[in-house]
Amino acid sequence: MSLVSGSDDDHRYRPRQVRGGYEMYEVVAHLAWCPRGDRLAFGCLDGGVGVLADDPMGPSVRWWCRLDAAVTALAWSPQGALAVGDLAGGLRLWSPRHRRAATVTLDLGGPVSALAWSPRGDLLAVGAGAELMVVSAGLESVTRHPSPAGAVNDLVWADGPGDLVMATKGGVGWVSVGEESSRPARYYGADGTVLTMALDTQGDRLAFGDTSGILHLTDLVSGEEVSLSGYPDRIEHVEWDRSGLVVVVPAGDEATLWFLPPDGVDPVNDEPVCLRGHDEMLTAAVFSPAGAELLTADTTGRICLWGDVDNGPRLVFDVGAGVRSLQWHPSGTAFASGTAEGRLRIVRSLPLLGQLGGVTASRPSR
C-alpha cells in the first residue's frame, strides 16, 4: 500500500455556480453530507468529485478533482475525512486539513463498489470486486476478507466496533473484524444478488433487497427472518426511519412502507402502504434523520416531501431533470439533489413555499 498526492482542482472542469447550486459536466450520481453538516461531497459519472463548504454567503467549492473514471462511492468518517472510490479501482482520501487529496494505491480486485467508515472512524471498509478490504485510518495496515459469494455490493458497520456486514451475490454476510467483534460470523441467503441493505437504529434488525424483487427482514438477535415478495423489479434501495419501526422501499412509481413492532421482524401491516405522488419510476426514497418526513424522487425531476402518509405529499419540488442522488442534511432542515443533467441543488427552509434555492416548490393539488 502506498500514498500518492493527486492532481486536484483542474479549472477546466471546475463546477459552474448557478442559482441555488452548481452545474457539473456529467450525471451527479453520488451525494454525501459530512456528519457535522457543514460540507457536502458530490461525485459524477465523468470522474468529477468535490466538496462544497456551507459558507454564510452560500455554498462554495472547497475541493475539486477530476478522476480518470466514474465516481462509484463516497463516505465521510466521523472526524470529517472523505473517502472516494471510482470505477477503475481507485481510492482517494481527503481531509479539511489538506488542499489536495491523497491517492491510496491498493491491489484492488475490481471497481470500488462500496465504502464504509467504522463508528469510531479508525477503519475504512472497501468493497472491490469479490473482496473486502479494511484499511486503518492512518493507512498503516490493510486486512483482506474474501467475499463468500461474488462481488461486494454494499457495506454497513454494525453497532459493535468489529462487526461489518457485506451484501453479495446470493445473500448478506456478517464479518468479524479484529478482536472486538461481538457477534459470530453468519450468512443470510437470498434468491438473487443483494444490492442494498440497512440496519435499524438499534443495530438489531437488518433489511435487504435483492434482484429477484424480494425484501428480507432479519432479526440479528433472535435469528427470525421474514421474506416479502411481489416487487415487480429488483430492489435497489431500502431504508429505516429514525424510530426503527418503518422500512421504505421504492417500487416502480410508488414508495412502499412496512410498519414493524418494537421487537421482531413480522410487519404489522399485511400489505404495504403505498405512497402515490409520482407518474414515473422512483429513483430515491430517504427518511429525514431528524424526524418522520420522507423524500421521494423520480426520473422526471419531481421530488415529493411526505409528512402524513394519509394525506399525500406535503410539498412537491421540480428540479428539472431526473434525480440520480438525494440526501437529507443531518439537521433535517434541508436536502441536496443531483440530476442526470449534472445539476446539484440545495433546498433549505422546507416549510416555506415559492422559490427555494432555485427550485420551484408548490402544494400538490388534492
146-200, pLDDT tens digit by residue? 776 778 899 998 866 568 888 888 888 887 776 555 555 678 888 888 999 999 9
Q: How crowded is residue 209: how many other Cβ atoms within 10 Å of its Cβ? A: 28
Strands in 123-128's sheet, in edge-to-edge order, are 112-117, 123-128, 131-136, 142-146
Q: Which fold has domain 1-104?
A: Thrombin, subunit H (2.40.10)
Q: What pLDDT digit, counting tens, does each position of 192-241 carry?
A: 889 999 999 888 899 999 999 999 999 988 889 999 988 888 999 999 99
Place of cell 468479524: 176
Place of cell 414493524: 260
Give phi and psi for 11, each to the nearest 5: -65, -20
pLDDT reported for residue 68: 85
pTM for this model (two decimals): 0.87
Q: CB of 120 within 8 A of CB of 78?
A: yes
Residues whose CB is less than 8 angstroms from the CB of residue 20 and which lie 6 or more positions away in sequence, other chains included:
345, 346, 347, 356, 357, 358, 359
Among 24-38, 90-104, 299-313, 336-350, the minimum mean pLDDT is found in 90-104
Domain residues of the chain, as ranges? 1-104
Q: Where are the alpha helices (DSSP H) in the chain?
A: none
Rounded to whole angstroms, how far apart are CA atoms 55 and 189? 46
How far from chain centre, in Å, is Cα 192? 21
Residue type, 257: L
Q: 8: which DSSP letter?
A: B
